[in-house]
């Protein structure tokens, strides 16, 4: 729950800071949503270099062996996440931000929705956390938490757009 827990902490801390400084919360969260994908990118590249958060075994030609883990060829799931949750999300967030009809809060809820979708996709190629494994022998904790991110993003989008 490291990413998802950090997200909760960032939202809570931003809310408290916004109250103290009398700056709209979603204004601050939009800024964070636009710049955080770059940090996520570098974090996932570091996970790859350190052999952390390894992928599932594979026969694809781009499979990677992490000798400190085992000698099996594995998906470089960290790089998949770096690409999707880092680069692609950064580009999308900035495209949204630079639209003419931009409304405060759009980047915040779109970050939740898109990161959640990208993370769920990436979870198909990633080994679940050793201490948790698969819940209900079906889904990882990352998938469940990302589903709730998507749900929160959808709820915020309806509330922000008064639909």
The 10s digit of each residue's pLDDT in 46-92 is 999 999 999 999 999 999 999 998 999 999 999 999 999 999 999 99
User: Rounded to two decimals, what is the model's pTM?
Assistant: 0.91
For every residue of 30-99, DSSP letters joined together read: HHHHHHHHHHHHHHHHHHHHHT-SPBPB--STT-EE-TTT-S-EE--HHHHHIIIIIIIHHHHHHHHHT-
The mean pLDDT of the chain is: 92
> For the chain, which residues make up each domain, given as ranges?
2-48+77-160
Residue 163 has pLDDT above 80, yes or no: no
């Amino acid at each position: 729950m490291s990413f998802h827990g950090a997200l909760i902490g960032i939202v809570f801390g931003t809310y408290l800071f916004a109250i103290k400084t009398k700056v709209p919360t979603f204004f601050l969260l939009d800024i964070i949503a636009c710049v955080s994908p770059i940090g996520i990118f570098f974090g996932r590249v570091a996970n790859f270099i350190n052999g952390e958060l390894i992928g599932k075994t594979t026969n694809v030609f781009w499979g990677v062996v992490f000798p400190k883990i085992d000698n099996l060829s594995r998906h470089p799931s960290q790089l998949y996440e770096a690409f999707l949750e880092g680069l692609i999300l950064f580009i999308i967030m900035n495209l949204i931000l630079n639209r003419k009809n931009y409304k405060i809060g759009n980047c915040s809820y779109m970050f939740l929705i898109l990161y959640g979708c990208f993370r769920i996709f990436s979870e198909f190629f990633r080994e679940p956390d050793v201490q948790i494994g698969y819940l209900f022998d079906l889904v990882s904790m990352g998938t469940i938490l990302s589903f709730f991110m998507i749900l929160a993003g959808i709820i915020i989008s309806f509330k922000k757009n008064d639909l």
